[in-house]
Structure formats: C-alpha cells, structure tokens
Amino acid sequence: MNQEKVIVLDFGGQYNQLIARRVRECNVYCEVHSCQLSVERIREMSPKGIIFTGGPDSVYLEESPRCSREIFDLGIPVLGICYGSQIMAHLLGGAVKTAPVSEYGKTETNVDTSCTLFKNVSGSTICWMSHTDYIERPPEGFRITAHTQDCPVAAMECTQRNLYAVQFHPEVMHTTEGQKMLSNFVHDICGCAGQWKMDSFVETAIREIRERAGNGKVLCALSGGVDSSVAAVLLSKAVGKQLTCVFVDHGLLRKDEGDEVEAVFGPEGPYDLNFIRVNAQERFYKKLAGVEEPEQKRRIIGEEFIRVFEEEAKKIGAVDYLVQGTIYPDVIESGLGKSAVIKSHHNVGGLPDHVDFKEIIEPLRLLFKDEVRRAGRELGIPEHLVSRQPFPGPGLGIRIIGEVTAEKVKIVQDADAVYREEIAKAGLADSISQYFAALTNMRSVGVMGDDRTYDYAVVLRAVTTSDFMTAECANIPFEVLQRVMNRIVNEVKGVNRVLYDLTSKPPGTIEFE
C-alpha cells in the first residue's frame, strides 16, 4: 500500500501508542514497531519519518534496548523522544550520563524558535519531563536547540542528516505546544501531506479482515458498548453473513440494556447481522456466588463468557475466528506490554486454555476510545451508540464491591438509572466522560420515617478524561447531586446513603471495584 506513513520504534516507554495517535491526529498514518525492526524492513516500508519512543532503561547499560545504527544513514528523518533522544546521542558518539538533577513534571523550557521543529512555538514553553539520565554532550554535527534550568540538552538537531531529538515528551498533553512540535516534524520535516483520515483506517481494516478471514465463519462478541458495536459493524461490512454476533446477557448489564441492544442489533434493527441473544444470568450468578475478590470476579466472568461463546460456536459449527472489541488502553492495562498489571480486562489476556477458535481478531487493538468513536461515525453507526459512555465487559460485576447477588444487581441498576436520568436532565451528559453508580459493600444505620434502617451505601462516580488513562473527578453541581441522592434513597429499595467519589485517576481507577 502506497500511503505515507510514519513509524514509531518502541523502546519500552509507556506513551508509545500515544505518540502514534498524536501523529494520526496530524492526518498521517502511523504504526508502532519494535525498536529491533530491521533496517531492510524499514527500507521496504519506506516511511516518511521515524520516531523513537521513551523507555525506562539507561542507554549506557549493555542490556538496554537499542536499534541499528544504520537507521541514521537511511536519509529518513528521525525524531528521538526521551530515551529515544539519548539512544540517538549514544549511538552517534555523544555522551549520556545520570543527570545531577532528575527532572519530573511540567518544566519551563527555552527553545530556539528558528528551528523547524519549534516553528510557531513560544520561546519559553512548558514541556513534560521524566528522566534521570540526560545528554551531557551532543554528538558531533549536532546543535543544541532547547534547554531547561537543569537540562543543558533538552533538544538537539542535525539538519544535514535530518536527525532531531527532544528530552521531553511532546506527545503528552502537559507539553502545552507538543502537538505543534509533532505536526512540525511530520509535515515540515518529513514532508507528509497529511491526507490520511479515519475512513482510511476503516477501509484498510475491512480489507485486512476480509483477507484474513477468507471464507471462514466469524463469531463476534457483541456487548452493545461502543467498542464491540464498532467492531461488529466493521466485521459485518467485511464478511457479511459469515458473521454471527452473539450477545450474552450475563445479568450484569445496566437497567433495560439487554432489550436495548436487541432492539438495535436484532432482527428489527438496521443491521444485516446474524444476531443471537443468550440469556445466561443465572449461570453467571451461580459462578459468582461467594466470590468477593475483584480480580477473581473478572476471571470468572471472562471465562464464563468464553464458555458461552464456545457453546454457541459449536451450535453454529466450524467457527474459525472470534472477534473482540479490545482497544488500546485495555491492552496496556492488562500488562501485555512492559507496564505492570493494574487489572486484567476480561477480554484481553485472560483466555482459558481450551479455546475452540482458530484465531482472535481484534481490529481496534491499536485505537484509543475517541479514535474508535471516529471510526464508528465513519461506519455510519448512529450517534447515540457512538457517543455512548464506556461500560466494562464484566459489567456491574465489578461495580458491586464484595459478593455479587441478584438483589445487589437490582439495587445498582436502579440507582444507576436514576443517576443517568438526572445527569441527562441537567444537560451534563456530554460534558462528563463517564458516570455511573456503584454499590459499596457497606451497610449502615439510617432512619426512614420512624423506622431504623440498616441498608447499603451507593457511590456515585463521574469523571472527565480525554483518553481514559488519567481522569479527574467531574465537578457536578451540588443541587444535581442532591437531587440524585434524594431520588435514590426514596426510590431504590435497600439504599439509605449516597456518597460521591472525589478520587482522580491515578491514584484511583475510573471503575469502582
């Protein structure tokens, strides 16, 4: 395929996909590869530019990840970020050492605005730093183009060889003019025209799925959430009636959600899909009885899910592929990369040993949530589905602290429905990224009329975030919270207290589990 592309070489940092996503935001196709990608392979791909990511290691240690030195002789522009800048300096004869002062966080940086990388950037700008090593001396032929109080080489360049390096992270939002710098790199330095659009992703994905699936039968795990809906529609466009979508109602969905999903994807809905609804509530409740530990709940729900699919697959006969709507944040948070396991998402990495499918197709694996929504719009999926807030695969199973029972599910469903209704009425739905009610495992004394109660506390969660990797508690007007509280304690049996969770992510997570 002859489209212009930039490749990101991964040295083990945590923002690798974020860099790719920022480049895609410049309308240039971008994908991430291992830092050990061979020079021959890079030549074949003929990218317009190469970006080296950050990473946790020290370049001067033997075992640290490194790329081939020949990359610098390809004539392709290279931008090194953080560890990537240090490996460039190290391989080309500069000096990298432990810095006398480590920098972490937003840092005032003085940049030389005459260089192309910093075109239209302010002379003094805020950049996000996170490093303990630094470039003490750039390689021969390089000139320093930025510095901070503690970092003498915050950026360097060798324009003759098209090599650029920054110690800070232009890809994170805390670097206020970072997107401008990346845009300068891909457009002005690499010469990309920037004509790539999300529909190119959709077209490419449809073509690749078609090639991969051939005449095989495909089974899609449809939950009705944004990710699996986009995956399902993408698949139906690629393989038509070879696809069967199975929707498992595990009894852990939001109020009335099962029927809503059926209304959209079932035979009465607008899509030409094979749709099967499996009502497996009792089966899941039985497996979850007595289980309190959140990771164990996730595992049980995930495994049971796969079992149900296996059974459906057997009924359909000779199913070759299982489709899942896994997106990028699921992948890193499940610890499949280098980062620590925060929690296991049931649709990633948690497959049981015995799986009756040839392969798993995850077409959205490299996309962030808002990119998935954009792909959904390109596919013509109705806006109310595309902008729907995320809902975890294990559902209310992880929004109920402690043991999951049918009674607790009903409480959290009813409280959540009230909360959502009031948020919508207050006109706040679009300004909050995700909001829901969860059930604490705490019961406490209250008073209702003349009676003493001993009931559960519901917790309300609401966050704003752009990428779901970090999040802030949403600032919901107090009157709205009070209205929600009043309605929940009055309308939902078994609840006598309502709490509001103020925690950001980190240190919390978005879910309350």
Q: Does 468 bind ligand XMP (CB under 6 A)?
A: yes
From candidates 48, 180, 297, 346, binder to ligand XMP by CB under 6 A: 346
Which among 4, 103, 157, 171 is annotated as catalytic?
Answer: 171
Q: Any catalytic annotation for residue 26?
A: no
Kindly tell me which residue out of 371, 416, 455, 511 binds ligand XMP, with binding defined by CB under 6 A.
511
Could you check whether the bond before residue 506 is cis, i.e. omega within 30 degrees of 0? yes
Length of the chain: 513
Q: Is 510 in the site for ligand XMP (CB under 6 A)?
A: yes
Region from 4-12, 101-109, 236-244, 391-399 binding ligand XMP, contact rule CB under 6 A: 391-399
Burial class (CB in 10 A: 0-12, 13-18, 19+), 44: exposed
Provide, rounded to whole angstroms, the least separation between the CB of residue 17 and ligand XMP.
15
Q: How far, in Å, CA of 46 to CA of 16, rounded?
A: 20
Strand 78-81 and strand 49-52: pairing?
A: parallel
Instruction: Report how far residue 289's alpha carbon sits from residue 286's, in angstroms, rounded to the nearest whole number.
Output: 5
Site string for ligand XMP, 116-145 (x = CB under 6 A): ------------------------------
Tell which positions 309-338 bind ligand XMP, by CB under 6 A.
330, 333
- Whether the bond into 138 is cis, omega within 30 of 0: no
Q: Which is it for strands 155-158 and 163-166: parallel, antiparallel or unpaired?
A: antiparallel
Q: Is 103 or 330 the residue whose CB approaches ligand XMP more closely?
A: 330
390 interacts with ligand XMP by CB under 6 A: yes
Q: How far is the CB of 23 from ligand XMP (least distance, A)?
A: 23
Q: What is the CA radius of gyration of the chain?
A: 25
- How far CA 478 is from CA of 431, 438, 484, 510, in Å, comes to 16, 19, 10, 21
* Interacting span for ligand XMP (CB under 6 A) from 37-45, 269-277, 444-452, 505-513: 505-513
> Hey, what are 1's tokens?
């395929």
- Residue 61 phi/psi, 5-degree rounding, is -85, 140
Instruction: Report yes or no: 246 and 220 within 8 Å, Cβ to Cβ.
Output: yes
CA–CA distance, 131 with 86 (Å, rounded to integer)? 10
The residue among 186 and 398 lying less far from ligand XMP, judged by its C-beta, is 398
User: Strands of 163-166's sheet, edge to edge?
Assistant: 29-34, 5-10, 49-52, 78-81, 163-166, 155-158, 143-147, 95-111, 124-137
Report if residue 251 touches ligand XMP, rule: CB under 6 A. Answer: no
User: What's the min distance (Å) between Cβ of 102 and ligand XMP?
Assistant: 27
Identify residues 35-64 at the interface with ligand XMP (CB under 6 A). none
Residue 392 sits in the site that holds ligand XMP (CB under 6 A): yes
Nearer to ligand XMP, 346 or 373 (CB): 346
Q: Which is nearer to ligand XMP, 275 or 368 (CB)?
A: 368
Write out the two tokens for 435: 């909001």
List 65, 77, 350, 393, residue binding ligand XMP (CB under 6 A)? 393
82 is catalytic: yes
Catalytically annotated residue among 169, 187, 345, 346? 169
Q: How many residues bind to ligand XMP according to rule CB under 6 A?
A: 15
Over the window 416 to 455, marking each residue x when it contacts ligand XMP by CB under 6 A and - when it does not, the resulting string is ------------------x---------------------
Q: Which pair of structure tokens corresponds to residue 19?
A: 């860099």
For 478, counting Cβ atoms within 10 Å of its Cβ (0-12 exposed, 13-18 middle, 19+ buried), the class is exposed
CB of 429 to ligand XMP, least distance (A): 15
Active site residue 187: no
Residues labelled catalytic: 82, 169, 171
**What are the residues binding ligand XMP (CB under 6 A)?**
330, 333, 345-347, 390, 392-394, 434, 468, 505, 509-511
